[in-house]
Amino acid sequence: MLSSQGVEPFLIRTMLPDEAAECETVMRSLPGWFGIEESIQQYRRDLEAMETYVVETGGHIVGFMALNQHNQYSAEIHVMGVLEEFHRRGMGRSLVAHAVDVLHERSIEYLQVKTLGQSRESEAYAGTRGFYEAMGFRPLEETNLWGEGNPCLIMVKHLGCLPRGQTTTA
């Protein structure tokens, strides 16, 4: 998928096996979102195991997204990041749109994402929640999945697909 939203053209493509380190570099450049070393290391392993897409511009990876398909009905944006200097240039929106397109082809009905809940103040994550709401996600539930000090907000988006094998809504 090639896009030219924003200032420079960029490409969204499948991550190659040797590119997880570049995605880790993106995470490490975003301490407001990726500040726990153990999580960064786990996300790096997850990128190598999951269906991962990257945003490339000027020959460099500036963003990524890993998808985790849970079952025949739902998938999750497991982790996503775009270098801060490339925020608000359409790259994050294009990553989410690419995920929706991929999952639509598979007749997946729901896409979820987990992010820091609003009960813990964070300017960075307030922006993240606003981004996902603008992309059509809705808050479902805030839980203590990540522990007492890290409230997890589960957000979901209905992709408008009919369940596999169903041809009408009636």
What CATH number did the domain enclosing 94 receive? 3.40.630.30
The whole-model pTM stands at 0.85
Considering the domain boundaries, does residue 170 fall inside one?
no
pLDDT at residue 104, rounded to an integer? 93
102 versus 163: which is more confidently predicted? 102
Considering the domain boundaries, does residue 83 fall inside one?
yes
pLDDT at residue 98, rounded to an integer? 96
When pLDDT is cut at 50, 70 and 90, the band that residue 4 belongs to is very low
The pLDDT of 133-148, averaged and rounded, is 90
pLDDT at residue 25, rounded to an integer? 94
The pLDDT of 14-37, averaged and rounded, is 91
Average pLDDT taken over every residue of the chain: 88
Q: How far is residue 100's CA from residue 120's CA, in Å, rounded to a whole number? A: 29
Considering the domain boundaries, does residue 163 fall inside one?
no
56 conformational bin, left if phi > 0, alpha if psi -120 to 50, beta if neither = beta
In total, how many domains does the chain have? Answer: 1
Q: Which domain holds residue 81?
A: 2-158
Among residues 96, 123, 112, which one has the least CA distance to residue 145?
112
Looking at 36-139, list the stretches that DSSP marks H as alpha helix, in order from N- to C-terminal side.
37-49, 91-105, 123-134
Q: How far is residue 134's CA from residue 101's CA, in Å, rounded to a whole number? A: 17
Q: How far is residue 112's CA from residue 74's CA, in Å, rounded to a whole number? A: 8
Statement: residue 77 has pLDDT above 70: yes
